[in-house]
Amino acid sequence: MLRSMVTGGVVLAIALLSSPARAASGDVEIHGYGSWSYSRSGSDDNLYHASSKAGDGGYHNLAVTLASQVSPDVRISTQLWWEESAGEPGTATIDYAFGEWCVADALKLRMGQIKHPFGIYTEIYDVGTLRPFFWLPEGIYGPAGIVAESYRGVGLTGTTFKRGYQLDYDVYAGETDLEFTEIPVSGGDEAEVGEDSDEIALRDITGMRFVVGMPGVDLRLGLSAYTGREDGVDGGRRSCVGALADWNAGDWAARGEVVVVEQADAADVDAAYVEVSRVVHGGWQVAARVDHSRTRLEDSLEPAAECMLRHRELTAGLNYWFAPEFVAKLSVSRVDGNRFARPGDPEAVLDGGELVQRTNLVSLGVQFAF
């Protein structure tokens, strides 16, 4: 608790002392971002995105990024993260801290705790000013054991060009921890999936991401994949493959991803989303998103309720951009299924036979960067 408060205070002090316009001090640049949200759900039956029936405005976060170009070919970066929800103590962590040695634009070596290069949003996981909705699509970026914000290890990255095409690549090896919400199974034995934990420790990872930028149009297409060994699970291997498309054309933008996860002897997951946004007038932007996730347990496991394996969400949003670095967002979501929108104590609710499968959510928030 004390450590969190101290670290949070340091983070705030750095943020307040830095200049938004030119956050540079000597060779060290200071940037950051943060957000605050008020969320209200249709009932108190399910917990989803820091909401309650009465409304909850206690969620806020702040990140401070420090980066320095030590020499023309060496750069170091780190990011401190502080987050707090109503009724819960604040937590402070280091998102990433790594060094990069640039041999050439097409070959850079990275070492340390590095942003996880997977899909569109993992490297900018909490940066609200780079997306049309306050919350990321839950099917892929929620506690589904699919993506991590960072990995510990080594990686190669680079960019190259050919006939107007741009290729960005990452290959990496190391270890990471995936956030995961366990799935109750019949008989009360949920240890088979999630190991009674909110995290899956993934070791001996190897992974890659390739993204191609098309000539003459702001369209990127890419593939991501990784495989690793689940710590503490005999022979438990977790493999994940995803595809992405990201298109921007002036006022219009559209993004979509599909991901398939295979977890040996436990559960497979497929998830996908599509989101479209358009700036309609001045700073006003409208957005819509369809989000989907489905989990399949192995044959010997029977879910306590089928709806615990499913997440389908439809979200509409209205944003006002004061500047590219400051946005207010309003969104309305309708969720079907309890994979992520679920009661605080699923087992207790399941024992009583009452599980509300529909969840409505209204979120209002501001997000900023400097």
Partner 1 sequence: MIAVVLGFLLLAPAVAPSRPASDFVVIVNAANPATRIDREELSRLFLKKVTFWGEGLPVLPVDQPAAAPIRAAFSQEILMRNVNAVRAFWQQRIFSGRALPPPVRDTADEVVLFVRDNPGAIGYVQPGTELGPGVRIVEIVDAGR
Query: Interface residues with partner 1 (CB under 8 A)?
Result: 22, 24, 29, 31, 33, 63, 65, 67, 69, 72-73, 75, 77, 79, 96, 98, 100, 102, 104-106, 114-115, 123-124, 127, 129-130, 159-161, 164, 166, 216, 218, 248, 323-325, 369
Q: How far is the CB of 317 from partner 1 (least distance, A)?
A: 17
Q: Is 249 or 332 the residue whose CB approaches partner 1 more closely? A: 249
Q: How far is the CB of 359 from partner 1 (least distance, A)?
A: 30
Lookup: tokens for 104: 């050439």
Amino acid at 308: M
Q: Is 129 or 338 the residue whose CB approaches partner 1 more closely? A: 129
Of 121, 95, 189, 181, nearest in space to 145 by CA: 181
Q: How far is the CB of 29 from partner 1 (least distance, A)?
A: 5
Lookup: tokens for 130: 């780079």
Of 126, 339, 182, nearest in space to 359 by CA: 339
Q: How far is the CB of 324 from partner 1 (least distance, A)?
A: 4
Query: 194-200: long-range contacts at Cβ-Cβ below 8 A with a sequence spacing of 24 or more?
Result: 194/145, 195/232, 195/233, 198/143, 200/145, 200/230, 200/231, 200/238
Q: How far is the CB of 107 from partner 1 (least distance, A)?
A: 9
The residue length of the chain stands at 370
Q: Is 29 or 84 the residue whose CB approaches partner 1 more closely? A: 29
Q: Is 235 or 282 the residue whose CB approaches partner 1 more closely? A: 282
Q: How far is the CB of 68 from partner 1 (least distance, A)?
A: 9
Separation of alpha carbons 276 and 351, rounded Å = 40
Q: How far is the CB of 141 from partner 1 (least distance, A)?
A: 15
Q: Is 127 or 356 the residue whose CB approaches partner 1 more closely? A: 127
Q: Is 337 left (phi over 0), alpha (psi -120 to 50) or beta?
A: left
Contact 291, 313 (CB under 8 A): yes
SS3 272: strand
Of 81, 126, 21, nearest in space to 370 by CA: 21
Q: What are phi and psi of 143, to 5 degrees?
A: -80, 65
Q: Is 20 or 57 the residue whose CB approaches partner 1 more closely? A: 20
Q: Is 23 or 272 the residue whose CB approaches partner 1 more closely? A: 23
